[in-house]
Amino acid sequence: MGLLSTGQRSLTALQQYAIVTANYWAFTLTDGALRMLVVFHFHALGYSTLEIAFLFLFYEFFGIITNLYGGWLGARFGLRLTLWSGTLMQVAALLMLIPVADTWPKWWSVAYVMVAQAISGIAKDLNKMSAKSAIKTVVPETPEDQSRGDSQLFKWVAILTGSKNALKGVGFFLGGLLLTTIGFNAAVGAMAAGLFAAFLLTLVLPADIGRMKQKPKFTALLSKSRGINVLSLARFFLFGARDVWFVVALPVFLQAALGWRFWEVGGFMGLWVIGYGIVQAAAPSLRRSWGQDRPPGVAAVEFWSALLTAIPALIAIALWRQVAHPGVAIVVGLAVFGVVFAMNSSIHSYMVLAYTDAESVSLNVGFYYMANAAGRLAGTLLSGALFLSGGMQACLWMSSLLVALAFGVSTRLPATQARSA
């Protein structure tokens, strides 16, 4: 694979990518655990679902800003800077949460945690943009066989996104477990220490990993690619459809309506995300087993989006019909939703890299994940508001509508350079 750069240690491209990925994995554990810690801790203090949703408002909002500007920073100054900044900011956000106390006035707790979550949102998207942009620098260019190169790219993207989501699932379980065993304050302190240890691994990275040879102008941060723009809009609706019922409404519904304990909810959601990650990582193999040897394309995006539209609607109908075991309807429905969503998301993550080149990868990936963060923000706020007004059914119907919009947008995607299916 050669060298990405001639840094102090002359690390190969694969070694650099392994270090970036290891740091990203450690970060993902703390990110998933913190989500569960905040939801459960503040719900136990009597906060409504809408108030809890507002705790994540800055987390998602600043993720939008970070993806837009972070891609430009990565292209101009290198991915090492964005990776370091993201990791250290997450450590700082975790340390900020140590003094949070039950005796604080509600307005102060909300404002304080929103600031900490803003820092965490910036950190998360700097870290994610760095890791996903690094993939394009690892996979060798194969101009003589574009299809083979794109198949390799799909494989690497699937491994990263799948492993990340599996570890985020472990983080959900870890958050519920830590809250039950050592409490909120000690949990965030322990996670800060662990993440700082992971940061030390990245000190050997060369300074110019992912840096563009020609410094990009500030105006370059807005994508000029039709494929990137259309895919970004589809991504906005897709992740809004997931988070409108998964982020706030689902854990509160399982705990308040079905009587599940904290560790049971955290464990279940953790297992779901782990399974979701496994399906993402296995997406290339699954497609090959179905006779799809070429890299995925527009038709694959349309198929999985259309299939996904029906699932939240069917779960909502089951709850409306007051089935004897609503927990079973939720669990089974969520499992099917996870498989289909994982295939869709894995193909999306490949497509954004297939539409770009290695030189401008961090700019385009940053723009794409800006739309991803905007979708999560919309979904999170809708999750709290709709659950408060219409319960779980309202959240599920909105999810189905948002997936339908993602499907409609996907029909406008241009073909990638390689022949795809």
Q: What is the pLDDT of residues 51-110, one digit of tens each?
A: 887 787 788 788 788 877 776 776 677 778 888 999 999 999 999 999 988 888 888 888
pLDDT at 7: 43
CATH code, 91: 1.20.1250.20
Residue 40, both tokens: 């459960």
Within a domain: 1: no
Whether 116 is covered by a domain: the verdict is yes
Q: How far is CA 388 from CA 106, 198, 238, 334, 399, in A?
A: 19, 39, 22, 21, 16
Asked if residue 319 lies in contact with residue 348, where contact means CB atoms within 8 angstroms, the answer is: no
Contact 173, 155 (CB under 8 A): no
Residue 348 lies in a domain: yes
* CB proximity list for 129: less than 8 A, separation 6 or greater: 66, 67, 70, 71, 74, 82, 362, 365, 366, 369
Confidence at residue 186, expressed as pLDDT on a 0 to 100 scale: 93
Q: Is there a domain that residue 2 lies in?
A: no
pLDDT in tens, 13-63: 777 778 888 888 899 999 989 988 888 888 888 888 778 877 877 887 887
Positions in the chain short of pLDDT 50: 1-9, 419-420
Residue 417 lies in a domain: no
Instruction: Output the pLDDT for position 141.
Output: 57
Which pLDDT score, from 0 to 100, does residue 119 have?
A: 92
CB 87 within 8 A of CB 202: yes
The total of structural domains in the chain comes to 1
Within a domain: 290: yes
pTM for the model: 0.73
Cα–Cα distance for residue pair 360/340, rounded to 1 Å = 30
Q: Is residue 6 part of a domain?
A: no
- Residue span of the structural domain in which 258 resides: 13-211+221-410
CA 167 from centre of chain: 11
Residue in the block written with tokens 């519920």: 176
Phi, psi of 3 (to 5 degrees): -105, 140
Domain assignment of residue 308, yes or no: yes
What's the pLDDT at 327?
78
> 157 vs 43, 350, 382, CA distance in Å?
36, 6, 30
